Structure 1
Amino acid sequence: MDASISLFELGWQTYFQQQLSLDDLESHSVARVCQVEPSRYNLLSESGLIHLSKDVSQPNMTIGDWVVVDGDNKFVRKLDRSALFNQDAHLIASNIDTVLIVSALDESFNIELIKRYLELVHDAEADAIVVLTKADLCDTVDEKREQVQRLDPLLLIETVNTKSDEPLQALQDFFKKGRTIAILGAPGSGKSRLVRSLITLDSDLTHFSVAQDALFRLPNGAVLLDSPALRELQANEAQSSISGFELVTKFAEKCRFNDCSHNNEPGCNVRKAIEEGELDEQRVKAFKRSHFYGEDDSNQKSKPHDKFHRSAHSEARARKHSISE
């Protein structure tokens, strides 16, 4: 038994507490999925590690899910999620409150990639903070930061460099008791150094003293959720989006009008490509959202701006992510 584990250390919040029945409080307990194996789920609870065999009667679950179990550690039900990352109907991770989107300010800086990460986080119904790293290696920090800020005037952005850990204190202020944090970023963006700056991987205070590698303690009582599937999502999904945008651009170059919006204009080569099966319509929709970021026309940028505005400030998100003080 690991008496040092509490539900709040695992990311427990009022949103989940409100889903418990009187019977749950008296006879059942809750645990959080930390590993998904072919034949079973591994869950962390206040009593330590629980092994839950998969059954066709159960819903599909993923790392981060909260599960109610009975006195014999048998499945009772899964609690409603506050956030969900998935890809092609494949579950990646759930119940993440805040995502740190890490991007280096060196030659690898890619505003289109940051846009795609923001869309992924919004679609999952989580909040985002953009962390710009390697500031000491860049002569145009303010310019690049402004590019990111134009994606959403209310977007939180932190800048760090390779020589000082002082700016990381600002990040730690966002880590509150019961909140779950994840980190996304392209290879070489500085994710590993950021993690090492936040936690000491070989410290007993970081681990939950059980054999799992998805949930880690962060400062101020928050929890870091990490998994191979989440890392694969950040690398493959975002990068494939960029290559998909390049393909749409090639078709768009042959549209009759230079300012074609690829809706109902005559001579639209993009619409023609969709009809002939050469382009995926969902990819074109993502391209159009990306294309309109930062444009001066207020009608064009209203949709993506509103999307992130809702993500950051909706009352529903505030209720979901309220925590017990």
Structure 2
Amino acid sequence: MNSIKQYGWNENWSTKWNEKWSHAEDKQFIPGRIVGDFGSKYKVLTDVGETWGELAGKLRHTFVASGDFPAIGDWVALAMQDGGEHGIIHGVLPRQSVISRKVAGNTQDEQIVASNVDTLFLVSALNDDFNVRRMERYLIMAWNSGANPVILLTKADLCPDADSKIAEMESAAPGVSVHAVSAIQDEGREKLLPYIGEGQTVALTGSSGCGKSTMVNWLCGKNLQITQDVREGDSRGRHTTTHRELFVLPDGGIIVDTPGMRELQLWEDEGGLDLAFSDISGLASNCRFSNCRHEREEGCAVLEAVQTGELEEKRLFNYRKTQREVLYQNNKEVKLKRKSAASTKVSSSRTRGYGWRKELDEY
């Protein structure tokens, strides 16, 4: 039987648990980690085995936004029911890292991809899927999450000029490790061992067809995930993985596979933009004006670097474009928070006026 220690439980998590749950008097809670997210229900691994978990009604009513709900990788407090056949989730331990994006479409909600991840593998195939500009967006998401980003270039056996593409990706990702691997030819696995050791959690993210499920099977040493061939014409893939699931690796690490992304809409920026474009941020520190926008200002070190060839003009263009998107997204998020706070205040005021109090069911 797997134990929670095999799934990353350590002294740090034990300390967090003891701060809140070790002295609970009314119920007997046990810790567990969400290893499968299936929408309304969660697959949870505990020291008494794997079980299905659902949210307690009282906990559900405390959630304001979609990002508050438990996600794959979270550590939760469970009260077992029916002799251990299923559990009720009563709380979530504070997260160490949160990989999130804005949900697709016009809805202004956060979607948690995975939580409590140590290393985020940003996957791109060395075929028509290869896209440096798209990787810049993934890097912003990774830096914002608190996880350590590592770029994996898969299907190296299909690329005759892998070295040049590795160099191109390295220049666009300062300070980030880039590894080319081939699961088919079993090449490059040794480069990934430092990230998948005992107790470490890694997650895979990338576009559909980039080889994430193949990577999971390769690193696990068995066929855990279904894989499909990409279309020959444009190397586009289908959503082989339809839900998020967590697996234990032979080397002791834990890996999370996630569904492929057709698009990546950034949620909000907590410094990830400057880290993903650290070369531009470094140049900007030498600009004459502290509020330089790197467009037409005199003494702009960034524009000078473009003129001398030190900085690629396309990279600066993408920086400006992404900066505008992040600013727009942050402004919308601030407005929504203000609107939500105002709505809550009015609702609370009305409740006090009626002089009644609604009790929430425990389940």
CA contact (8 A) 1:33 1:63 kept: yes
Q: TM-score, normalised by structure 1?
A: 0.62
Pairs within 5 Å for 1:142-221: 142-161=163-182, 164-202=185-223, 214-221=245-252
Partner in structure 2 of residue 82 of structure 1? 96
Cα-to-partner distance string for 1:113-158 (whole Å, 9 max, x where unaligned): 1111111111211111111223333343222212221234431121
Cα-to-partner distance string for 1:177-227 (whole Å, 9 max, x where unaligned): 111111122233232332221124457xxxxxxxx9712111211111224
Give the RMSD, CA atoms, in angstroms. 3.6
Which runs of 5 or more structure 1 residues have no equivalent in the other structure?
204-211, 240-258, 266-278, 287-325
Pairs within 5 Å for 1:93-132: 93-132=114-153
More RCO (CA 8 Å, sep 6+): 1
CA contact (8 A) 1:31 1:44 kept: yes
Partner in structure 2 of residue 10 of structure 1? 7
Distance 1:36 1:191 in 2: 18
Inter-CA distance 281–137: structure 2 relative to 1 (3 Å threshold): closer
SS of the aligned residue for 1:165 comes to coil
Q: Percent identity?
A: 26
Inter-CA distance 189–262: structure 2 relative to 1 (3 Å threshold): same
CA contact (8 A) 2:157 2:185 kept: no
SS of the aligned residue for 1:123 comes to helix
Inter-CA distance 104–46: structure 2 relative to 1 (3 Å threshold): same
CA contact (8 A) 1:40 1:54 kept: no
For 2:55, the aligned partner's letter is: S
Cα-to-partner distance string for 1:72-100 (whole Å, 9 max, x where unaligned): 65444211101112223233321121111
For 2:189, the aligned partner's letter is: L
Partner in structure 2 of residue 66 of structure 1? 75
CA contact (8 A) 1:121 1:128 kept: yes
Partner in structure 2 of residue 256 of structure 1? none
Partner in structure 2 of residue 269 of structure 1? none
Pairs within 5 Å for 1:36-75: 36=37, 39-47=40-48, 48-58=50-60, 59=63, 60-70=69-79, 73-75=87-89
SS of the aligned residue for 2:197 comes to coil
Pairs within 5 Å for 1:300-311: none
Partner in structure 2 of residue 250 of structure 1? none
Distance 1:38 1:284 in 2: 28
Residues 1:21 and 2:15 are matched in the alignment: no
CA contact (8 A) 1:115 1:151 kept: yes
Which protein is bigger by CA-based radius of gyration? Answer: 2
